[in-house]
Structure 1
Amino acid sequence: MLPDPIDSLACWLGLAWLRAVETPINLQFHGRMLTYVINDAAASFVVTAERFLPVIAAVAADLKEVCAIVVPDLTEPVRVPSVPLVGGVDFFRDVEPASDLTPPLRHDISTMIYTSGTTGPSKGVLIPWGLWADLQETTGSHLNEQDITYDPFPMFHGGGKSLAQIAIRSGGSVVLREHFRTDAFWEDIKRWECTFTALLPAMAEWLLARPPHSEDDKSSLRRVGMVPIIPKIEEFKTRFRVQVQTNFGMTEAGVPIGTAPFTSDVTGNYRSCGRIGPSYEARIVDAYDYDVADGDAGELVLRSKLPWGLMCGYFGRPEVTAKAWRNGWFHTGDVFCRDADGNFYFVDRMKDALRRRGENISSFEVEALVNEHSDVLQSAVIGVPSEFGEDEIKVYIVPRPGVLPNPKALLDELAEHMPRFMVPRYLEFIEQLPRTEATLRVQKTKLREEWRNVRTWDRQIGQFLGTDTSA
């Protein structure tokens, strides 16, 4: 639990030479969630910074297998109940560099990253070093020793580790940050002369939302990885004079699909995640694992052509691992389709797919259409109960700064560009979408918890829910 990304990276790589397994912890965790991850991982040691010591101390009595808490930057002695506390001076006293160690191999476990746990308790994903090695061909083949990569993701997140890995393996340099900051992004790019970075859609939208500047197209940044591509991608490319790559990746599988390497214009097919990488195999299957035809939607399943290219399993959960790996393929839980040229298209998370009036609907596709509206900065779509069974569609919209759209007019405009069954019935304007700390993924479970409120416009009745029209 180290906030400094350089310390975190050094700790991770140092443990690798010892064949020890690192479990990075989200810096926002505390209380019950923190206790759960440490105990579920069967952690023997906790390495943290002094600023997080109160958070660790608060749960120390409930930690089952922790032998010691190591605080390299400890300045003041602190008593932690039940667990020995070791400061950096004592920890490194009389330590000499090891000379007889060998580097880790593909099959060695590099780290155990806990997933978000949206459908149940978070699970520890056992990631071998082979997974990181294979990232290079789908995400880092364009990099060389002259490139400087800007890594805005925390080291407890797979994205942070991925960018650091491909930069190191390319022989270039990497600038590490604890987290992404819109107001510091271009200043950092200029200061360190960064040439490559990766952005989540929310990050790209935040950068576009800033007032235009005469220096926007004059930075050292030349290439951006963006997953997925935002609707206003041409505006982004032109304004910042960058090339854009996209891909599909997940903690358990690395980045098996992508549009690398970069060219002068990656592709005009921005809805595609790219094609399968040389070291992977992919299929689109139905509920019984039979292949579906090109153009039809189904679950994306994967496997690696090389040993140890995907996750080794979920720690302590053999049944869950077996289910994910049934019939010899890793089941991603994502709905995809593929065209005749081998391009893969993300449709939706299986748990976020909607069904309305007999039609299967992708929340991802609805969001993409909503985000094309000039008044919309970001959106999130969820399914809510319908009095007729199946789902009704509710859209949460973050308006562009300084804009206050009319809900009826906005939905009417959207209806001109959507099939009737895809037009949201409900709309709520919101200042910001709830997101996870690490991945900035929209927390749709929170949106579903209190979807019915007086701020929600109902297109069917033409008024806000709970509005009294009897007076």
Structure 2
Amino acid sequence: MPPADPTLPVLLARRAAERPTAPFVVETATGAVWTYADAHADADRWAGALARAGLSAGDTALVMLPPCTEAVAAWLGLSRLRAMEVPINTGYVGRLLRYVVEDSGAAVMVAHADHLAALEEAAAGTAVLRTIVVVGARGPLPSSAFELVTAADFLDGATAPADLAPPAGRDIASIIYTSGTTGPSKGVLVTWRQAELTATGIMPTELFDETDAFYSPFPMFHMSGKGPLYAAALLGARVVMRPRFDTARFWSDVREYRATTTILLGAMANFLHQQPAHPDDATTPLRDALLLPLVGDVDGFRERFGLRVRTTFNMTETACCILSDGGDLADDTSCGRVRPGFQARVVDADDVEVGPGELGELVLRGDEPWTLMAGYWGKPEATVAAWRNQWLHTGDGFTRDADGNFYFVDRIKDAIRRRGENISSAELEEEVNAHPDVVESAAVAVPSEYGEDEIKLVVVPRPGTRPTPEELVAFLSDRVARFMVPRYVEIVDELPKTPTQKVRKVELRAAGVGPGTWDRMATSTPRRQPG
């Protein structure tokens, strides 16, 4: 593995000196162009203001912002102090939001004004959080249980301390919370070295240069939003930042901002491919796309749009360890081969490697230190379990062939992936079980016509009651993020269980969508299971 490059805050300072007026981030929402010099100066101001607020190396700070330059500057400002950014999913409300606020142990938070009401409701009275720096305030700040200060006032007159030691590859770039697939969400300690290798997996430096532009409609609480920034800085390229993916705006944005590469999560690629064909589909500036996963008709997709298509397998804990060789795809289902600098195995329940074509769990490790997660924040037992036998256990079922190509089969953990978001079935079940007429429930993934998953919720009602699917969906809509609201609901008398009383979700997944399943997207009258 080649030597580590400078960490992003150090690299940004270098770019600001070498190419100060070159664009680093272009915001589609505002049209603003943020140069490398702007980015470095703003990161320094945030570092100074955060230090003035009492933060230093090893501290945590929460950030709950949409994709914007303020989110990048706050992150890099914290990194200049060697403090740890904890980005929060902007869709979180209620119990999930309070859990991350409390678990992070952060006393300071940077949040958009649009999230203040949710924070007040969910997190007022938490033990540690005291100050919220408000971005995007319109008019006077409301009264609050927290100390609120506008970003403008917070940053006023701030300059970075002169004696800051630059962050190293082993330092923590961010604590990014997983979806909590096996229980409460876990904060992944993402190192700067891991972040760099994730970035170069997303945008390999040998395939791109300073003329390229990465189209990024991805959130800053995922590596899909952070990785392109690191990759662009490595190349001296630019990132085109849109607040969220919009099929209708995608190609017009690509043309207007001359975007040359992007990530397309499965549903995104299918949304684009299902649009009516146009004669100029293959003549846009876009010439490369990383598809996660590959679409079914991958040859038709790349021919229609004139693209080099790449793929990878990644998760918050890893660094694109399995990856296609540029546009050289083994076939339309493989995730690629092991990337130089990493090792991968498919193992059985005893961690013994299985042969080609045999199903097992994917486990990974790096040849060099700090290239995979440093552990889970505040959860040593979970860290040890994930790293048992000195291999990182992904929890995902894979096979490999005799040529070394790896194939994702299914999630060993009961996770659901919808619209690019990983969803914890356990956390969703906890919320619906809070309904007074629900005894227990199970959330499972069922196939979506757009790729990835839809959520099916199977509910056992309290005896003598019969909550309707509409009531349950309305109840959840006020308690969970929009992407977690199930499409399908089925009311049953009991859930299938093992002798040890664990729910047999494999049976629920196999049952899929049947005549007794209610579909909130259906136009006809929903049917319900008798009884």
Alignment TM-score > 0.5, same fold: yes
If asked which structure has higher relative contact order (CA below 8 Å, sep 6+), I would say: 2
Q: Return closer, same or farther for 1:288/1:394 CA change in 2, 3 Å cut-off.
A: closer
From 292, 307, 312, the counterpart of 1:242 = 307
From 338, 356, 363, the counterpart of 1:301 = 363
1:284 and 2:284 correspond = no
Q: Is the 8 A contact 1:137 1:277 kept in 2?
A: no
1:35 and 2:98 correspond = yes
Identity of aligned residues (%): 40
Q: Is the 8 A contact 1:299 1:331 kept in 2?
A: yes
Runs of 5+ consecutive residues of structure 2 not aligned to the other structure:
1-63, 418-424, 426-443, 452-476, 491-507, 520-525
Q: Return closer, same or farther for 1:114/1:453 CA change in 2, 3 Å cut-off.
A: farther
SS in 2 for 1:10: helix
Runs of 5+ consecutive residues of structure 1 not aligned to the other structure:
354-362, 365-381, 383-392, 401-433, 458-463
How big is the alpha-carbon RMSD for the aligned residues of Structure 1 and Structure 2?
A: 3.2
Amino acid in structure 1 at the alignment position of 2:146: V
Q: Supply the distance in 1 between the matched residues of 2:484 and 2:306 (Cα, whole angstroms).
A: 27
Please, what TM-score do these two structures have when normalized by structure 2? 0.67
Q: Is the 8 A contact 2:97 2:123 kept in 1?
A: no
1:84 and 2:147 correspond = yes
Amino acid in structure 2 at the alignment position of 1:120: G
Shift in Å, 1:180? 0.7
Paired residue for 2:195?
132
Shift in Å, 1:92? 1.8
Amino acid in structure 1 at the alignment position of 2:75: W
From 351, 370, 374, the counterpart of 2:413 = 351
Paired residue for 1:218?
283
Paired residue for 1:270?
332
1:316 and 2:381 correspond = no
Q: Return closer, same or farther for 1:273/1:98 CA change in 2, 3 Å cut-off.
A: same
| 1:286-331 deviation per Cα after TM superposition (whole angstroms, max 9, x unaligned) | 1001111122111111111111111111111111111111011110
Q: Is the 8 A contact 2:93 2:481 kept in 1?
A: no
Q: Is the 8 A contact 2:335 2:407 kept in 1?
A: yes
1:201 and 2:266 correspond = yes
TM alignment of 1:316-465, pairs within 5 A: 316-351=378-413, 396=447, 398=449, 454-455=516-517
Q: Supply the distance in 1 between the matched residues of 2:227 and 2:345 (Cα, whole angstroms).
A: 24
Q: Supply the distance in 2 between the matched residues of 1:234 and 1:261 (Cα, whole angstroms).
A: 15
Amino acid in structure 1 at the alignment position of 2:326: P
Q: Is the 8 A contact 1:60 1:83 kept in 2?
A: no
From 109, 126, 146, the counterpart of 2:211 = 146
What is the number of equivalent residue pairs in this alignment?
A: 388
Q: Is the 8 A contact 1:297 1:337 kept in 2?
A: yes
1:184 and 2:288 correspond = no
Q: Return closer, same or farther for 1:308/1:467 CA change in 2, 3 Å cut-off.
A: closer
Q: Is the 8 A contact 2:177 2:188 kept in 1?
A: yes
Q: Return closer, same or farther for 1:8/1:223 CA change in 2, 3 Å cut-off.
A: same
SS in 2 for 1:29: coil
From 112, 118, 121, the counterpart of 1:55 = 118
Shift in Å, 1:31? 2.1
Please, what TM-score do these two structures have when normalized by structure 1? 0.75
Q: Supply the distance in 1 between the matched residues of 2:147 and 2:245 (Cα, whole angstroms).
A: 34
Q: Return closer, same or farther for 1:298/1:454 CA change in 2, 3 Å cut-off.
A: closer
Q: Supply the distance in 2 between the matched residues of 1:347 and 1:94 (Cα, whole angstroms).
A: 54
From 129, 154, 157, the counterpart of 1:66 = 129
| 1:331-363 deviation per Cα after TM superposition (whole angstroms, max 9, x unaligned) | 00011111222111111111369xxxxxxxxx9
| 1:45-77 deviation per Cα after TM superposition (whole angstroms, max 9, x unaligned) | 110122222222223423220131111443433
